[in-house]
């Protein structure tokens, strides 16, 4: 996408407003696609810096929600973010 902007006869505020609107549009598009992104177990393992088996164990324990498409297992990026930010209390956990 190419926009031609004439920098003559334009004030700084107009330029900044135009740039802000372009950046806001791009960020909103990026935010919408980022939420629905499906990650494979290998992708999640690479992001977390753990082995693929560890990700499988997280899924089996219910720590990480996942879904299948055919035989492949996927995790939504939003579910991964939520699982990483969720803090469970150890106070009532029995070992």
pLDDT tens digits, residue range 34-75?
A: 667 899 999 999 988 999 999 999 999 988 999 999 999 999
State the total domains in the chain. 2
What is the model's pTM? 0.57
On whether both 30 and 60 belong to a single domain, the answer is no
In a domain, 46, yes or no: yes
The number of beta carbons lying within 10 Å of the beta carbon of residue 11 is 8
Q: Give the whole-angstrom CA distance, residue 49 versus residue 53.
A: 12
- Residues making up the chain, counted from first to last: 95
The sheet with strand 38-40 has its strands ordered as 38-40, 72-76, 67-69
On whether both 65 and 28 belong to a single domain, the answer is no
On whether both 24 and 49 belong to a single domain, the answer is no
The residue range of the domain holding 5 is: 1-35
Are 85 and 63 a contacting pair, CB within 8 Å?
Answer: no
């Amino acid at each position: 996408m190419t926009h031609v902007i004439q920098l003559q006869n334009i004030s700084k505020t107009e330029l900044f407003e135009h740039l802000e609107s372009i950046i806001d549009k791009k960020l909103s598009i990026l935010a919408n696609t980022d939420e629905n992104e499906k990650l494979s177990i290998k992708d999640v393992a690479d992001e977390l810096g753990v082995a693929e088996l560890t990700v499988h164990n997280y899924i089996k324990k219910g720590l990480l929600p996942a879904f299948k498409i055919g035989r492949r297992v996927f995790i939504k990026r939003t579910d991964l973010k939520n699982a990483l930010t969720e803090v469970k209390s150890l106070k009532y956990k029995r070992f």
